[in-house]
Amino acid sequence: MAASSSPDEPSRSVFLGVDVGTGSARAGLFDEKGKLLGLSSSPIQIWKDGACVEQSSTDIWLAVCAAVKAACSKAKVAPTEVQGLGFAATCSL
């Protein structure tokens, strides 16, 4: 007989990937076999003044949070199921 998991143990292992680009933050959730369970993107504001381009670190972080929350909701993934995180960013946070 297989052992059942306790209420504190996740029922499955899910992995979260976050990619922060110039114009958006993207989050994807994957199962152990690499199957995409949920994906979401959130825009990042850019301010341009001539040759100067600016972004807000707060806006970037809020976009990451929004993308992750939306991806989790779409995939019906509980926070306790996320067993690993990969993070890539073209900007500095």
- Residues 22-61 pLDDT 10s: 899 999 999 999 999 999 999 999 999 999 989 999 999 9
pTM value surpassing 0.75: yes
Residue 9, domain member (yes or no): no
Q: For the chain, how many structural domains are there in total?
A: 1
Which spans in 15-87 are helix H? 57-75
Residue 7, domain member (yes or no): no
For residue 24, the enclosing domain spans 14-89
In angstroms, what CA-CA distances link 24 with 6, 31, 58?
Answer: 38, 24, 13
Give yes or no for residue 3 having a pLDDT over 50.
Answer: no
Residue 64 belongs to domain with CATH number: 3.30.420.40
